[in-house]
Each structure stands twice: as structure tokens, then as C-alpha cells.
Amino acid sequence: MSPELRIVGIAGMPEVTPGDDLAALILDAADRQGIEIATGDVLVVTQKVVSKAEGRLVRLDSITPSEFACRVAADTGKDARHVEVVLGESRRIVRMDRGVLITETRHGFVCANAGVDASNTGAPGLLALLPEDPDGSAENLRRAVEERTGARVAVVMSDTFGRPWREGTDQVAIGLAGLLPLKDYSGQKDAYGYELRVTQVAVADELAGAAELVMGKLERIPVAVVKGYVFEAGVATAGDLIRDREKDLFR
């Protein structure tokens, strides 16, 4: 039997603002579109709407940049106040060159500008930060969906990351609830008895990337439902997707 999955983008969500009940907005929009949320579904939610609902927004004009931020800004062509916010969200600078500022966020994610972003925030001069506790945010959403619908879903919070060596961005999972992010093949053999070299597949990142195919960046579809993907349930953290610094050749 050929396996099949469906990915449905949830259109028609209203603008999300601080304090909003995100689960309610998602379920209402799904309902209006005739999309049923069922046990076994994976809900992929972009970080931006979670950050907005949680009020993780900073006004540029409220920021006074440090001397260091001003110097970095001059070197990179960025707004010094934006750099100041990025530094505030970082615990370490990984690379700083050619206008690019790659840092390790307080959660441990390595990405451009500590995930601080001015697009789709709702107003000019407004920056969105990553959620304080993305796994916690995902779990809140998972639980709220279960309470309202009875459906046991998994939640993947996605964000847009660049990567070394390759052009274009992909989506990764920065917060999780209800599913294990890595599919583990350790010790398993292929059809010919050869023990697999690849032992862990980052299925949560693949789900995040797959969802973007229906979301796009301009269509105001911040949530997608993946149906038919058989995930491994468990206590989830997107932290499992972060390579330890000691094992990383590129930090």
C-alpha cells in the first residue's frame, strides 16, 4: 500500500495580536474552511504568530543601542537598534562577516539575527523575537486544541533559517509538542542487511519545510495541518535538534 499524506494550509486567520487565544483563532479558521482537526494530525505553526500572540514584540524606537551595536551596525549596514535587540537575544556570536550576523540564541539555536525579524510583525518599526520557551508554547497550543476538540495532535513550531553552503532558506522546528523530532534508525538494517549509516532523520524539520509549501511568505497562512504522517509520540523538545557544541565542526 502506498503511503500518503495531505498538507492543508489554514487560510482566513485574522491578524494575531498580543494576548490573543491562538488555539481559538486557528480552530475557528479551520472550521470556517471546513478543515477537521483530528487525532494523529500534526499542526505546524509559524513562530511569528506565536510570538505575536505572546507579545514578543519590541518597538525599534524604544531601543537605545550600545556602542558595540552601533559599530556592528555600521559594519553590517543594519539598524543599530535592530542589532541591539539581536545581541540581547543572543548568548554567543558564531559568525559576523559580510553583513551577516549569525548568533546562538538563548535557546541554543544557531541562526541569522537570533531569529529577530521585522517582517509580518503587524506594523513598521516592530520587531518579533522568538518565543521565550518555544516547546512550552507548542505544548500550550497542543493542550488547548485537545481540550476544545478532543483531538490528540502534535505541534511543530516552525521558523525560517538559512544554512551554510546552500542558497535559499528552509524551515526548521524550534518548538515541539507531542512528537519526537528525530526518527532513529540506529542499529537498523536496510533491505540488504547493511546497517544504516544515517541513523537519525530530522522529521520535525521535514514537517516544518513541508508545511511551508502550502504557507508561502505572503499568503497569510501561518498554520498548516499535516494528515497521514505517523509520528512517534513522546516527550518532545526541539532542543534535541540542536547539535552539542562539542560535536559541532562549524561553531
For residues 19-58, which are near its own copies according to CB under 8 A? 33, 35
Give CA separation, 48 vs 21, 22, 24, in Å.
Answer: 14, 12, 17
The reply to whether 186 sits near its own copies by the rule CB under 8 A is no
- Phi then psi for 191, rounded to 5 degrees? -65, -15
Residue 203 interacts with its own copies (CB under 8 A)? yes
Using rule CB under 8 A, residue 200 touches its own copies: yes
209 lies in the site for its own copies, by CB under 8 A? yes
| Residues 60-99 contacting its own copies, CB under 8 A | 95, 97-98
In Å, how far are 58, 70, 91, 119 from 84, measured between CA atoms? 11, 8, 13, 17
* Cα–Cα distance measured from residue 194 to residue 231, given in angstroms and rounded to the nearest whole number: 25
Minimum CB separation of residue 5 from its own copies in Å reads 5
Q: How far is CA 12 from CA 31, 62, 197, 222, 224, in A?
A: 10, 32, 44, 10, 12
The only residue of 22, 206, 222, 237 in contact with its own copies, by rule CB under 8 A:
206
Name residue 82's amino acid.
Answer: H
Q: Is 187 in the site for its own copies (CB under 8 A)?
A: no
Closer of 61 and 249 to its own copies (Cβ): 249
Q: Between residue 143 and residue 172, which ones bind its own copies under the rule CB under 8 A? A: 160, 163-172
Q: Is 2 in the site for its own copies (CB under 8 A)?
A: yes
Residue 34 or 147: the one with the smaller Cβ distance to its own copies is 34
Query: Which residue in this structure is represented by grid cell 551554510?
Result: 164
